[in-house]
Amino acid sequence: MNTIMRKSVLGIAGLAFAGGMFAGPATAHAATPVDAAPVAVAVQADKPDTNKLIPHGVQGAQSRIDLSDEQTANVKAIIAATKKAGMDERAAVVSIATALQESKLENLGHLGDRNDHDSQGLFQQRPTSGWGTVEQITDPEYSTLAFLKGLKQVDGWQDMPLTEAAQTVQVSAYPDHYAQWEQQAADLVAEHWNT
């Protein structure tokens, strides 16, 4: 009889404990009206503000490409270099849009007859124009820092349309082509800035 009584008491105590475990979170849960909203807001807060990424709105028709793992790694390298340079998310958008136009985010070596002079790397920088050695300009961090150094020297680049800021640094034969990559560049910065 003692054994039966003990099992009953332990069984009731166990149920009370288990019920308390379930009641505890359920009661705490009930105090929070919407369980998922704070989490969703916190995730959204981690992403850069779209108005900061594209302060002037996009210009013209936008292009978009699917990225390989290598291209995504180059996006992350550009973002890391931008942070290292002490520059903000907008600088990363300008940099990524520029690299999308120049190389489709591929770290290109010398392309032989298809080369534009001696242009190489993500930003198609030229050793003969003083951007650095071939080894330097085909290093994603170095080439991004070199591009950003040029961007910093452009007075008011933050207030310029992306294509104008990029063109001032790059001096391209196709100055308006950078604009088509602004939305994808902004999306990539939003996705990878805090990863």
Q: The domain that contains 147 carries what CATH number?
A: 1.10.530
In a domain, 114, yes or no: yes
Among 165, 128, 174, 173, CA closest to 147: 165
Among 98, 67, 96, 78, CA closest to 174: 98
What is the per-residue pLDDT for 110? 52
What is the per-residue pLDDT for 42? 42
pLDDT tens for each residue of the chain, 195 residues long: 554 444 444 444 444 444 444 344 444 444 444 444 444 444 445 788 888 899 888 989 999 999 999 999 999 999 999 999 999 999 999 999 999 999 999 998 655 554 555 788 999 998 888 999 989 999 999 999 999 999 999 999 999 999 999 999 998 887 889 999 999 999 999 999 998
Domain that holds residue 31: 2-43
Q: How far apart are CA 38 and CA 65, in angstroms?
A: 33
In a domain, 48, yes or no: no
Polymer length in residues for the chain: 195
Number of structural domains the chain divides into: 2
What is the per-residue pLDDT for 7? 46
Three-state DSSP state, 85: coil
In a domain, 49, yes or no: no
In a domain, 169, yes or no: yes
What is the per-residue pLDDT for 93? 98
Instruction: Output phi, psi for 120, to 5 deg.
Output: -150, 165
In a domain, 28, yes or no: yes
What is the per-residue pLDDT for 164? 95
Q: How far apart are CA 9 and CA 142, in angstroms?
A: 72
What is the per-residue pLDDT for 185? 98
